[in-house]
């Protein structure tokens, strides 16, 4: 935790007060968070900031900042990581990863290099494989079921600070 506070101080020394005993209400704007060395090249940085910020706009308080790095650390349990990964991939915040969410994910992962037909094919394959209750979109349970079969998830969904 001390490391995270130090990180925040480095980001914006003029904004971050050094005395937190009275819980001051400081919010870092998204531009600063997005320019952190750990996040600046990550294609999902905006979604990460939106998911962990209180208002969903990317501006984070200290608590949000600490939550973010806590979930992305090695200590966090698999279920917690799966929950937040699901929220990150759910672009329209409707508690389901539908086809449009998957298309946005694929485009972010491949830098828009695939043709729309290929993107469509990939999304259909993903839904076909992972959708257990056959409603055409991935719920949190479907996502968690998929995570269990991906042992690499714990080590890849992880940012070191």
Asked if 50 is part of the footprint of another protein (rule: CB under 8 A), the reply reads no
How far, in Å, CA of 88 to CA of 48, rounded?
A: 6
Candidate list 67, 87, 90, 137; residue touching another protein; CB under 8 A: 67
Cross-strand bridge partners of residue 61: 27
107-131 in b/e form (b: 16+ CB < 10 A) is ebeeeeebeeeebeebbeebbeebb
- Closest approach of another protein to the CB of residue 89, in Å: 6
Give yes or no for a contact between 65 and 28, defined as CB atoms under 8 angstroms apart.
yes
Asked if 122 is part of the footprint of another protein (rule: CB under 8 A), the reply reads yes
Candidate list 13, 18, 25, 156; residue touching another protein; CB under 8 A: 156
> Site residues (CB under 8 A) for another protein?
1, 3-4, 37-44, 66-67, 69-77, 80, 85, 89, 102, 105-106, 109-111, 113-114, 118, 122, 125-126, 129-130, 132-135, 143, 146-161
């Amino acid at each position: 935790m001390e490391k995270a506070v130090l990180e925040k101080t480095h980001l914006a020394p003029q904004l971050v007060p050094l005395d937190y005993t009275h819980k001051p209400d400081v919010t870092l704007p998204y531009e600063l968070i997005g320019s952190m060395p750990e996040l600046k090249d990550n294609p999902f940085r905006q979604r990460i900031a939106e998911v962990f910020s209180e208002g969903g706009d990317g501006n984070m308080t200290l608590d949000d900042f600490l939550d973010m790095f806590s979930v992305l650390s090695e200590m966090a349990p698999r279920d917690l990581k799966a929950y937040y990964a699901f929220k990150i991939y759910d672009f329209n915040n409707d508690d389901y990863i539908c086809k449009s969410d998957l298309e946005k994910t694929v485009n972010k992962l491949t830098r828009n290099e695939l043709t729309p037909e290929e993107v469509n094919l990939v999304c259909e394959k993903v839904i076909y494989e992972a959708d257990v209750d056959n409603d055409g979109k991935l719920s949190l349970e479907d996502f968690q079921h998929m995570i269990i079969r991906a042992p690499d998830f714990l080590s890849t969904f992880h940012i070191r600070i």
